[in-house]
Amino acid sequence: MSKIKVKTPLVELDGDEMTRIIWKEIKERFIYPYLDIELEYYDLGVEYRDKTDDQVTIDSAKAIQKHGVGVKCATITPNADRVKEFSLKKEWPSPNGTIRSILDGTVFRKPIIINNIPPAVKAWKKPIIIGRHAYGDLYKDVEMQIPGPGKVELVYTSAEGKEERVLVHDFKGSGVVMGQHNLDKSIESFAKSCFNYAISEKVPLWFATKDTISKKYHARFRAIFDAEAQKREAELKAAGIYYSYYLIDDAVAQIMKNEGGMLWALMNYDGDVQSDMVASGFGSLGLMTSVLVSPDGKYEYEAAHGTVTRHYRQYQKGETTSTNSVASIFAWTGALHKRGELDGNSELMDFAKRLEKAVIDTIESGEMTKDLIPLSTASNKKQLDTFQFMEAIQKRLG
């Protein structure tokens, strides 16, 4: 069989611990034998990040900007323990945070649906993709405890020195107060990324806030989304999808009765809460993928889980591990499919779909890693270790 030629380099970001072990295995089993591809490699393993003073992370983000598509392995975000463990120069920032801020992107989380792994919510049949705005609101708030009677006001002083003020509350006794902000530019980037991803995945876009109550703050988010929807009307129509605004409480109620298959865009706090609800409703972290999409249409694919340190400790001791590689494999297929789409390479797109089908068929036939065993309704379940599972997929891929 001749290999499929890929004309544009794919940006590859290597990572840490158990996911780094799986990463190498994925390339050897599913990539090199089938594809004639140039992988532009960046080693984001924590030791090399430290060696380059984190320059490698910045370079990798720039490479994604240049080529358009990247695939990333999970990486350690160092804390004090990790600094000691690896003798690091300092607690380097999260690579995901660095890459997200360079690309000005939004992270979308999408579960992988498998027939014999039913979601906790019976109605759910298709993935519910969550897009969470990652700037401001509660996460950049200022707060004050009010000790006793007195007035709290919001004061805006323009650059020219003009003042505008509104009363927050005239306190008669003690209480609390909070100030939040967001930026049009950040909300616009978020909206653009959401429309990009919905159009790219051909799924309807839901956006939900509480604009009936928050007539300026939440209403601003809605206005920016509505304006973007108008601008993108022709693209939405061509993709056969719609954009719809909901009140957040209505959206939550609808989601529980809906079969899924939409992109649900949410403000920062709502996204934080609802993404955990949806993730646990769909089952295992090993089945959750993640993609970073920039407003100018650059894509970085990864698994939503971390480096699975606990399993890596077992691996280091030579013990058998049962780490689920599905989300990492789907990071590769997501990236390859997107690369194929951008290059007009249908053979590559078919290959990505074939690999995904091989993964799903393997699990649906009863062969799976330990985390899926209690979730699966298959009658003939067989627990495989990390490597046996990938071997089983490779056999199906042929």
When CB distances are held under 5 to 8 angstroms depending on the partner's kind, the choice from Mg ion, ligand NAP, none that residue 386 binds is none
When CB distances are held under 5 to 8 angstroms depending on the partner's kind, the choice from ligand NAP, Mg ion, none that residue 272 binds is Mg ion
When CB distances are held under 5 to 8 angstroms depending on the partner's kind, the choice from ligand NAP, Mg ion, none that residue 308 binds is ligand NAP
Residue 362 lies near ligand NAP (rule: CB under 6 A)? no
Query: Among all residues, whose Cβ is closest to ligand NAP?
Result: 306
The amino acid at 83: V
Size of the site for ligand NAP (CB under 6 A): 17
Q: Which CB sits closer to ligand NAP, 274 or 328?
A: 328
**Integer angstrom CA distances of residue 27 from 168, 287, 307, 334, 338:** 57, 19, 17, 14, 18
Interaction residues for ligand NAP, span 168-207 (CB under 6 A): none
From 35, 71, 67, select the one nearest 347 (Cα to Cα): 35
Angle between helices 95-103 and 55-67 (to 10 degrees): 40
Size of the site for Mg ion (CB under 5 A): 2
Q: Which of 177, 219, 247, 285 binds ligand NAP (CB under 6 A)?
A: 285
When CB distances are held under 5 to 8 angstroms depending on the partner's kind, the choice from Mg ion, ligand NAP, none that residue 285 binds is ligand NAP
Written as six digits, the tokens of 353 are: 């779909």
CB of 100 to ligand NAP, least distance (A): 11
CB of 326 to ligand NAP, least distance (A): 7
From 226, 227, 236, 252, select the one nearest 204 (Cα to Cα): 236
When CB distances are held under 5 to 8 angstroms depending on the partner's kind, the choice from ligand NAP, Mg ion, none that residue 276 binds is Mg ion
Residue 321 lies near ligand NAP (rule: CB under 6 A)? no
- Taking residues 58 to 97 in sequence order and writing x for each that binds ligand NAP by CB under 6 A, - otherwise, the string is ----------------xxxx------------------x-
Q: What distance in Å separates the CA atoms of residue 249 and residue 263, rounded to the nearest whole number?
A: 17
Q: Which of 141, 170, 250, 276 binds Mg ion (CB under 5 A)?
A: 276
Stretch in the footprint of ligand NAP (CB under 6 A) among 132-140, 165-173, 196-204, 306-314: 306-314
Helical segments of the chain, H only: 17-26, 46-51, 55-67, 80-86, 95-103, 184-201, 217-231, 233-239, 248-257, 268-282, 309-316, 326-343, 346-364, 386-397
- Length of the chain in terms of residues written: 398
Q: Which CB sits closer to ligand NAP, 175 or 306?
A: 306
Interaction residues for Mg ion, span 370-389 (CB under 5 A): none
Residue 324 lies near ligand NAP (rule: CB under 6 A)? yes
Q: Which residues contact 12 (CB under 8 A, 6 or more apart)?
A: 39, 40, 41, 42, 70, 71
The secondary element (H helix, E strand) that includes residue 129 is strand 129-132
Residue 247 lies near ligand NAP (rule: CB under 6 A)? no
Tally DSSP H helices, then E strands, for the chain. Answer: 14, 18
- The values of phi and psi at residue 36, to 5°, are -100, 90
Q: Which CB sits closer to Mg ion, 120 or 154?
A: 120
From 365, 290, 356, select the one nearest 326 (Cα to Cα): 356
Q: Which CB sits closer to Mg ion, 190 or 243?
A: 190
CB of 109 to ligand NAP, least distance (A): 11
Written as six digits, the tokens of 114 are: 């498998």
Is the C-alpha dihedral spanning 365, 367, 373, 375 positive or negative? negative
Q: Which of 40, 272, 296, 385 binds Mg ion (CB under 5 A)?
A: 272
Q: What distance in Å separates the CA atoms of residue 294 and residue 132, rounded to the nearest whole number?
A: 13
Residue 307 lies near ligand NAP (rule: CB under 6 A)? yes
Binding residues (CB under 6 A) for ligand NAP: these are 74-77, 96, 285-286, 302, 305-310, 323-324, 371
Binding residues (CB under 5 A) for Mg ion: these are 272, 276
